[in-house]
Amino acid sequence: MNRSCKLGLFLLFSMVLTLGLVGCSNESSSDGKDSDEKVEITLGYYSSGSADEKMEELIDQFEEKHPNIKVKTQNAPYSQFFQKLDTQIAGNNAPDVWLSDGVLVSKYAERGAAKDVSEWIERDLNKDEYYGLDFNKDANGKYFAVPQGIQIGALFYNKDMFDEAGVDYPDDDWSWEDLQEAAAKLTIDAEGNRATDSKFNEDAVNQYGMTFFNITEGWMPVLKSFGGGVLDEELKNSVIDSPENEEAVKWMVEGMEKGILTDPSDLQSFQSPMSPFPSGTAAMRIGIYARVLAANETGINYDVSVLPKGPDGKRFAPVIANSWIVNNNSSDAKAEAAWEWVKFWVTEDDVQKEWAELGEAVPVKKSVANSDLFLNSGENKINKQAFLDSFEFAGTLDTNAVWSEWLQKFNDNINRAFLNETSVEEALKQADKEVTKVLEDFYKK
């Protein structure tokens, strides 16, 4: 064998090797033809520390029950998880089933990455038995995901602070006006003056009546209960520039000017915008269910109530249904196996109970959510019924395919109104213009 022949062989060999490696990464899209054969599915989820162990346990249980399905897991911290997921979808090697933040479901659904599971839901689930299924329904009534756990908003309040100020605890009758009145009595400056005193200094607040930020735990519930909102029912057009929104935002700006609601720059003083309530710097907050964990951890004496009603008696509780999505590009066998996992998750009482014990979310299955296990668990007995009652007037955050993009535009503008850099009218007009452009770019081209 002469030299050039050896060289050729070597090059050929290295090419084969490279092709082989490239080939391997596409393996996940190959078909598992026979349903009796073992199917291996990949399950992706974002980690949340303590919950990971439980997830692994539940997966083991699932594999025991379904000996023909093997589950491979992929997890990462929240933001990395979704970045990786997008790249994986682009490369056609995304997990066969993954956990999606509720606000991102339409992003995947409207771009064709999530499988339409409507038929399977009809076949295998009794829709009345579950919370939150409808929050994943699109405008055409199709389902693209099944909830894994539900986050729903309610009003958290610090009982000790209310007692000290001699203010009655919030109840079902509260309007946002009542809330602001109470909040004024609960706001204390560095000198110990309350916001109701004339000597009160709104530039040096030590205790806020209410902490307030962001969409879910800030402006969205207020806008909606005042009769406003961001998008129309179709979720394709902006309704930002409305008198209802103007009234709602004025209510917020007024509270911030008086120093009884935290404004965005107040919140910058804290390591996390979540911390004023659990650390005892604010007497109230709008909080989703998961905020119970932090509040319990710091040991403050608190309870929850339904959110206040708007001027016309309308109420609104924000909902985020974190959900399982089945990959639209998975082979039939893998998708069926992935669906088995979803079914296992929502229908099995044991799974629902074990997950509920972590206290991260309201269980999807109504029977478990309404059981003692959920309602009366934990050392801190709070009115968890308030979360369940809130389902009657719950809604999503106007999530659509370009949610994060319009949200950024809206936040930018409303924050300027909050910081008094622009008028409420001007901010809403500008937000309306920018959000409309985002929507048109995506939907009307």
Partner 1 sequence: MPKLARKKKDLNDRKRKLSTEGRWGFLMVSPYLLQFLVFLLFPLVASLYFSFSKYDMLNPPEWIGIENYTTLVQDPVFHKALWNTLYFTLLFVPAQTILALLLAVALNQSLKGLKFFRIAHFIPVICSWTVVLYVADAILNPRFGLANTILLKLGEKPQQWLSDEALIIPVLVAVAVWKGVGYMMIIFLAGLQNVPEDLYEAAEIEGAGIWKKFRHVTVPLISGTTFLVLVLTTITTFQSFEQIYVMTSHLGDVTSAGGPNNASMVLMLYLFQQGFSFLKMGYASAIAWVLFIILFGITMIQLKLQNKWVYYEK
Residue showing tokens 């899209």: 29
For residue 23, give the amino acid letter. G
CB closer to partner 1, 86 vs 181: 86
Mind giving me the DSSP string for 303-371? EEEPPPB-TTS---EEEEEEEEEEBTTS-HHHHHHHHHHHHHHHH-HHHHHHHHHTTSSB-SBHHHHTS
What 8-state DSSP symbol labels residue 169? P
Q: Per CB under 8 A, does 311 bind partner 1?
A: no
Task: Name 100's bridge partners.
Answer: 323
User: If binding is defined by CB under 8 A, does position 265 make contact with partner 1?
Assistant: yes
98 SS3 class: strand
Residue 14 in contact with partner 1, rule: CB under 8 A: yes
To partner 1, the closest distance from the beta carbon of 434 in angstroms equals: 10
Q: Note whether 421 binds partner 1 by CB under 8 A.
A: yes
How far apart are the C-alpha atoms of 95 and 84, rounded to whole Å? 11
Taking residues 26 to 65 in sequence order and writing x for each that binds partner 1 by CB under 8 A, - otherwise, the string is ----------------------------------------
* Burial of residue 269, with CB atoms counted within 10 A of its CB: 0-12 exposed, 13-18 middle, 19 or more buried: exposed
Q: Are 78 and 46 in contact (CB under 8 A)?
A: yes
Pick one of 26, 50, 83, 367: the residue that binds partner 1 (CB under 8 A): 83
User: How many residues belong to the site for partner 1 (CB under 8 A)?
Assistant: 41
User: Is residue 10 close enough to count as binding partner 1 by CB under 8 A?
Assistant: yes
Sole binder of partner 1 in the list 16, 60, 77, 112 (CB under 8 A): 112
| CB of 226 vs partner 1, minimal distance in Å | 23
Shortest CB 37 distance to partner 1, Å: 30
Taking the complex as a whole, the smallest distance from the CB of residue 32 to partner 1 amounts, in Å, to 24
Residue type, 264: P
Decide: is 2 part of the binding site for partner 1 (CB under 8 A): no
DSSP reduced 3-state for 151: strand
- Footprint of partner 1 (CB under 8 A): 3-4, 7, 10-11, 14, 18, 79, 83, 86-87, 89-90, 107-108, 111-113, 213-214, 264-269, 271-274, 402, 404-405, 407-408, 411-412, 415-416, 419, 421
